[in-house]
Amino acid sequence: MSQLALPLRLDDHAVFASFLPTGNETLVGLLASIATEPGGNGCWIWGAQSVGKTHLLQAVCDRAGDRSVYVPMVALADAGPSLIAGLANRELVCIDDFDRIAGDAAWERAMFTLYNDIVTEGGQLVVSAGMTPRECPIQLPDLASRMSQLPIYSVHALADVDRAAALQLRASHRGLELPDETARYLLSRSRRDMASLYSLLDTLDQEALRAQRRLTVPFVREVLKSASG
């Protein structure tokens, strides 16, 4: 996967196969299509924190390969807009957390230029943010207009009943078996947003490998107790 000349990398597990699409089937299908079929319209995806926007953008880039570039604004905003110069030579540009640079005049001008260049070159732009283009505090009217032209899709948070299934899917993708009882225990003993649950699963994966243990409730209880004090 081609990226900017910075120490960035995609999460090894941020692929379509490890994303539970429940409630977001249409969006996931669209993004999978964008990743493999050049010449579409791209899109703007929005939703609350930890609903999977970054996962989805990275999954798009993972599937699209070298014709794409992943641009995480949380990591790059402070470095300045010169970093995105020339990105229109990629067929697919994915801008994560676009709202991080909204209101910054220099960044907005650079994004306006990038958008126009991508359109001219026949590429696609996929953008994520915490809100719709209309709600995003973009100050440059022309940029706001361009972003509003992108197809807009919301990323829906998983219902509680689906969080265990999402956790088990991620565990399976890592080669772990997460029994139903253990998944329910984790949901009852940790923060329920998926980012926190996935982070906890990473810790459990490392501890299980170190101790050569399975992810049983007693083992998970030991790890959580050790981590808390």
pLDDT tens-digit series, residues 54-84: 999 999 999 999 999 999 999 999 999 999 9
Is the entire prediction scored with pTM above 0.85? Answer: yes
Do residues 174 and 108 both lie within one domain?
Answer: no
Q: Which DSSP symbol is given to 87?
A: G
How far apart are the C-alpha atoms of 55 and 10, rounded to whole Å? 9
Do residues 145 and 217 both lie within one domain?
Answer: no
Please give the single-letter amino acid code of residue 127. V
Domain total of the chain: 2
Do residues 186 and 114 both lie within one domain?
Answer: no
pLDDT at 131: 98
Q: Which DSSP symbol is given to 66?
A: G
pLDDT at 2: 41
* Mean pLDDT calculated for residue range 136-155: 97
Q: pLDDT digit string (tens) for 186-223?
A: 998 888 788 888 888 989 999 998 999 999 999 999 99
Answer whether residue 225 shows pLDDT above 50. yes
For 114, residues 6+ apart whose C-beta sits below 8 A from its C-beta are: 84, 87, 88, 93, 125
> Would 9 be classed as within a structural domain?
no
Percent share of the chain, pLDDT over 70 = 95
Domain of 88, CATH number, reads: 3.40.50.300
Q: Which of 138, 83, 75, 73 is nearest to 114 (CA)?
A: 83
Q: What is the pLDDT confidence band of residue 229, given thresholds at 50, 70 and 90?
A: low
Instruction: Answer with the one of 139, 154, 169 that is the final residue of a domain.
Output: 154
Instruction: Answer with the one of 109, 129, 154 that is the final residue of a domain.
Output: 154
Domain of 177, CATH number, reads: 1.10.8
CB atoms within 10 A of CB 181: 12
At residue 125, the 3 state secondary structure works out as strand
Do residues 146 and 99 both lie within one domain?
Answer: yes
Token pair 């007693």 is at which residue? 218
Do residues 99 and 80 both lie within one domain?
Answer: yes
For 11, residues 6+ apart whose C-beta sits below 8 A from its C-beta are: 55, 58
Domain enclosing residue 103, as ranges: 16-154
